[in-house]
Amino acid sequence: MGQVKYSHSRLDAKKSSCSPATVAVLIGVCLLGVWMFMPSSVIPGQNPNIPVQVSKTEDAIVSNNLSSQFEDNTGDLPEAAMNDVVSQKTPQDEKTSKGDGNDNSKEPVSINEDTNTIVPQTNKGDNFEEKKLEDNINTEGLPAGDQSEILKETHSENGAFSTQAAESASEKESQKQENVYKWKICNVTTGPDFIPCLDNYGALRKIHSTIHYEHRERHCPAESPTCLVALPKGYKIPIMWPRSRDQIWFNNVPRTKLAEVKGHQNWVKVTGEYLTFPGGGTQFINGALHYIDHIQESFPDIEWGKRTRVILDVGCGVASFGGYLFDRDVIAMSFAPKDEHEAQVQFALERGIPAISAVMGTQRLPFPSKVFDAIHCARCRVPWHIEGGKLLLELNRLLRPGGYFVWSATPVYRKGEEDLQIWEAMSKLTMAMCWERMVIYKDKLNQVGAAIYRKPTSNKCYENRQENDPPLCENKDDPDAIWNVELQACMHKIPVDSSVRGSNWPKMWPERLDSPPYWLKSTETGVYGKPAPQDFADDYKHWKNVVTKSYLNGLGIYWSSIRNVMDMRSIYGGFAAALRDLNVWVMNVVPLDSPDTLPIIYERGLFGIYHNWCESFSTYPRTYDLLHADHLFSTAKKRCKLESVIAEVDRVLRPEGKLIVRDNTEIITEIENMVKSMHWNVRLSYSKEKEGLLCVEKTLWRPTEVETLAYTYQ
């Protein structure tokens, strides 16, 4: 393991041969350590049906050439670095951040350890308003300046003055970058709510049928846009969690249809300048928490927050069910289509609740098989029983053996003709699928009910069926292949080998978080070249060190303002696991050309999704507070325009949201120049031995020029 010692310097005028007037005081900075992983991987990646110019082994080398990851073993950043290097900010909960005020106190800087220089990162015309720091920063145990080495001056003869040559060169470089990146605003039908792969009306016009919800599926443009999405009129910095669960700014999601249609069911209400969420829904008018607890009381085996940790919520509405599951230590991957239930997923994300825009249509959902502890559907209007039960069989693919399906819908508790027909069809289908009906309960307060089914843990029932209907999938069918893979009306066999994933239930939460899955074998090589269980453990240790000793105190991030987090290139979920004690949730994204480690992430009680970063993510604009990209951009650049990926980052990130990038110095420099051209604030830029760390903050700036995207018009 490579280590770099911390260095802190203070030049004493009395001991210097120079006069005090010519002495330049150098501020010491904390050097971040390096954790080296050996390159090797046996974990397969998704087959995205896209040209990949780098092999899996090469991709692992990029990930592991760490120099490529910094590890802080000796402590937090020094006090001088925290006070003078990084400006810390707190969000304005009740006011809109101007993004163009004056900051005359502390400037963000760029740190180059190879040249021992500290360079101010103030952008012309892009100052920002300094905010009061509400957190107390722990500086105990930090190295004192007079106990450290003295940094050597490289151009001491210049004293505190620059040169005309340097000033002119800097200005020319600045003008050059301004000429390179000319951002424009996206002129699109959906305006501030633009989702490129869901608002491609040019592609939708070519669809001949919508019977399978093809018009709600992803149809990405041939080339991802490089324009920036507009802000809604009157947009304000979002209200912080947990208040946001109950109340958001109306101007941020100015939609009234759900309040008008579902207001009597306590989904959402318009209250002055706010949208309020009483915590209800169609099936739980009197509150989601009562509904959640009633499930536990009716069926104690579900064990919220212990046995059942990660669930899928189908047709989530405004996701109040998922929002209140946090109180029971359960996380829900909620999804709903972008349909006539206007902005339901956008409401959820603005509230600080996990959700994505997706539909059960013709293709598999972007999750691996056998990963969800439970799946929930509260009157989600999905026709589970039609076409051989194809859609319910997709849930069967996603559900762990022994996992539960909670079906809270009118056929369970109403006796209308249509309800009775659906109930009969569902009873026949679930029996043929070998699902055991555990309980049917009635909630007298909400006047609803639910049926809870359990997926089998062996193949005995499959083998004893009189009819092979639904049929078992062919052995060659890979249940974990999902990208643009069509749904099939078949069932995969239950794993019976005790060393195979899915044959046993994970450990109880929270023990499963830091325990290597039982099916990770020491005889197999992990992503970083060590035996897989050791690889897992070292990754977790690494990210705990980075988060606790660098990210929490050294980047100028006010973590109380952070709620929605995305790890854009997750391996084992170590970054998300290291944030467990914070009031955040993390969407772990495994790119299609990365090792397929997403099942490991679910096994430890976290969640995530597969994605191709050459396309847009299935979320609304301005939905994440922090994006983390560990060697993502250097790999994405080999397949697509980096400008389009950065435009997508800008679309997804909220104003005042943070982007943390760890990558090689060339990529760091390129990303830094791009975000400066978008008037973002550079909080910290660090480079050492061809590797870099960058922390930047998005502002409210939008360009004035317009780019019309013809395919977005109906």
Q: State the pLDDT at residue 380.
A: 81
Q: State the pLDDT at residue 231.
A: 98
Q: State the pLDDT at residue 343.
A: 81
* Spatial CB neighbours of 712, under 8 Å, sequence gap ≥ 6: 186, 188, 189, 190, 194, 196, 199, 200, 201, 202
Q: Which CATH class is domain 179-241+512-713?
A: alpha beta
- Reported as a single tens digit per residue, the pLDDT across 194-209 is 999 999 999 999 998 8
Average pLDDT on 444-471 reads 94
Position 561 pLDDT exceeds 50: yes
Position 470 pLDDT exceeds 60: yes
Of the two residues 137 and 147, the one the predictor is more confident about is: 137
Separation CA 45–CA 612 (nearest Å)? 12
Confidence of residue 495 (pLDDT cuts 50, 70, 90): very high
Separation CA 277–CA 289 (nearest Å)? 13
C-beta neighbour count of 417 within 10 angstroms:
7
Q: State the pLDDT at residue 172.
A: 56
Alpha helices, H only, 371-484: 390-398, 410-413, 417-432, 460-464
- Reported as a single tens digit per residue, the pLDDT across 95-134 is 434 444 333 334 455 555 554 444 444 443 333 333 333 3
Q: What is the pTM of this model?
A: 0.81
Starting at the edge strand found earlier in the chain, the sheet holding 247-249 runs 247-249, 274-276, 269-271
Buried b (16+ CB within 10 A) or exposed e, 156-193: eeeeeeeeeeeeeeeeeeeeeeeeeeebbbbbbebbbb
Q: State the pLDDT at residue 323.
A: 94
Of the two residues 379 and 20, the one the predictor is more confident about is: 379
| Superfamily of domain covering 280-351+371-500 | Vaccinia Virus protein VP39 (3.40.50.150)
Position 603 pLDDT exceeds 50: yes
Position 25 pLDDT exceeds 60: no
Mean pLDDT of the chain: 80
CATH 3.40.50.150: which residues of the chain? 179-241+512-713, 280-351+371-500
Separation CA 254–CA 263 (nearest Å)? 15
- Reported as a single tens digit per residue, the pLDDT across 293-312 is 999 999 999 999 999 999 99
Q: State the pLDDT at residue 654.
A: 98
Of the two residues 693 and 136, the one the predictor is more confident about is: 693
* Spatial CB neighbours of 70, under 8 Å, sequence gap ≥ 6: 32, 33, 34, 35, 546, 550, 662, 686, 688, 691, 693
